Amino acid sequence: MAVHIAECGNVYKDIVHNIEITSFASTGTLSIAPYVEGLTSDEGEYLDEAQRCLTVNALRACVVLGWCATIARIHKKIEEVGFDKFSQATVEMAGKTTGRFKFFTKKQSIQSRSELQTVFDTDLLWVLEYLQLIDNNQHQRLRHCFEFRNNSAHPGLAPIRGPNLYSFYSDISEIVLKNEKFALAPSH
């Protein structure tokens, strides 16, 4: 009887050990809630839908919607800063012959949110850096998030797993969605 109990103890230890080392990060348990909680802006619709995507193992769709929420906030912030200031920044950047912005050549004359939607996301990131809403490191991280969004929206062999998703949401949350520089004035 004592041998039988000892054997069970070893089996129990083996089971516990396997549970400890096995990853249970299945897509059904993934959640972006820690990265988006407390947000009350319109991009919440994108983020609610992104969370629902996780319940059906649609990680790529979750990434695409996260980027949509990020760009929605950026657009609103640019509108708040002023389309004229945004347009002027592109003219100044295009005039640079030295330094970080010397290769930027896309002058914009934006007067509405609809016109802003025609500006490529990568160009938006350059202008955000020029306006000092983000720095070079944040620009590069957001560029990586944009590339991750592109990889998610197009066929490819690189799988998306929980850690990839969390890295993406951590960056968009810290750099844009929860960043004080991107806070929006209360609507009247």
- In the three-class reduction of DSSP (H, G, I as helix; E, B as strand; rest coil), residue 155 is classed as coil
Its pTM stands at 0.82
Does residue 13 belong to any structural domain of this protein?
no
What is the domain count for the chain? 1
Does residue 21 belong to any structural domain of this protein?
no
Does residue 2 belong to any structural domain of this protein?
no
Q: Which two tokens stand for residue 165?
A: 């998703």
Does residue 47 belong to any structural domain of this protein?
yes
Question: pLDDT tens for residues 125-154?
Answer: 999 999 999 999 999 999 999 999 999 999
Average pLDDT, stretch 105-111?
96
Domain range holding 102? 43-152+160-182
**Is the pLDDT reported for residue 18 higher than 50?**
no
CA separation for the pair 18, 28 (Å, rounded): 20
Does residue 35 belong to any structural domain of this protein?
no
